[in-house]
Amino acid sequence: MSEPVLVVENLTVYYYTLKGIVRAVEEASLKAYKGDMVALVGESGSGKSTLGYSLLNLVPPPGRVVKGRVIVGGVDILSLRGDELRRARGSLVSMIFQDPFTTLDPVRRVGDQILEVLLEHGVPLEEAKERVVEVVKAVGLSERMAKAYPHQLSGGQRQRISIAAAIALKPRVLVADEPTTALDVIVQKQIMDLLDEIRKTTGMAIILITHDIALAAERASRIAVMYAGRIVEYGPKSKVIENPLHPYTRALLQSVPDISSSEWPKPIPGMPPDLRKPPSGCRFHPRCPLAMKVCREENPGMVEVEPEHYVSCWLYARR
């Protein structure tokens, strides 16, 4: 396999709040190749969005990347500073967000907002104008809509504009943070189809951050399951869905409602832990039906159980 376009190594991000240190992401590692769609699945507060922000070195204060590396196209994003970092955002790695109603500037024409991204990265004005038209068409909107203000567009149209602004410079990696959560199901499908198309035609790797494991199962090429700040299982979609190894992944899959089945979805008992005081050892052990003594004492390392399929669980690890 060729070189990965995104390598995340031992990424650790803490929020230094007044009430204590929130260990939002701990020792996360993953890889994405050209044209990959890696789904980062987890509950609210599992650290998946924080991980997403770190890919752009954009963790909001009081958060800080404590250690780790994020390499996009050979460049360590976390080592960049100042203008270098700014230029990397948008051109190497870009991001779209959950709420297309608030992520566009309400008082500027959407086309101008896309144009600005190009100009800010040194594209000459004439060329930039042409690129705006191109990219607006590429996301399935008519050229004229570039002249609209955000409030004149529907949610789906706005999300398409956000995508257009994010991919205008053809970044290697696009982080999509719950891109369809605020949209209705029909529009959701259209937006996901668009992201699929972009990744296939441009080879952009997309990191899809979602709480919806069903969506991940449908769209992703790889899945990383996060729990309480740690990636607990990671591998190609088919392997993770058909052969889930981690008890949390299994529980998550069983909690998805299935109308063709007579069985009720099973909720996972208990609550996710407070990340200011994460449980010792494996962070899932208080809710794990298979917890052993060792789970309380030590965190299991990542084990490659089958090719490309990694899990962090004492059931598979050897001490």
222 binds other proteins (CB under 8 A): no
212 binds other proteins (CB under 8 A): no
Q: Is the sign of the CA dihedral 77, 80, 86, 87 positive or negative?
A: negative
Number of amino acids touching other proteins (CB under 8 A) = 40
306 binds other proteins (CB under 8 A): no
Residue from 49, 50, 103, 210 touching other proteins (CB under 8 A): that is: 103
The CA-CA-CA angle for residues 279, 249, 52, to 5°, reads: 75
| Rg of the chain in Å (alpha carbons) | 20
Angle, helix 110-120 to helix 155-167, in steps of 10 degrees = 10
Name the residue nearer to other proteins (CB basis): 123 or 313: 123
Cα(164)–Cα(157) distance, rounded to whole angstroms?
10
Cα(291)–Cα(297) distance, rounded to whole angstroms?
11
81 binds other proteins (CB under 8 A): no
Name the residue nearer to other proteins (CB basis): 60 or 289: 60
Residue from 104, 204, 208, 228 touching other proteins (CB under 8 A): that is: 104
CB of 268 to other proteins, least distance (A): 30
Q: Which of 241, 319, 246, 256 is nearest to 287 (CA)?
A: 246
Binding mask 248-277 for other proteins (x = CB under 8 A): ------------------------------
- State how far the alpha carbon of 203 is from the alpha carbons of 37, 71, 104, 313, in Å: 10, 17, 26, 33
Residue 122, token pair as written in the block: 């040194």
312 binds other proteins (CB under 8 A): no
77 and 57 Cβ atoms separated by less than 8 Å: yes
Under rule CB under 8 A, which residues in 44-63 are in contact with other proteins?
56, 58, 60
18 binds other proteins (CB under 8 A): no
List interacting residues with other proteins (CB under 8 A): 56, 58, 60, 86-91, 94-95, 97, 99, 102-109, 116-117, 120-121, 142, 144-145, 147-149, 151-154, 157, 162, 165-166, 169
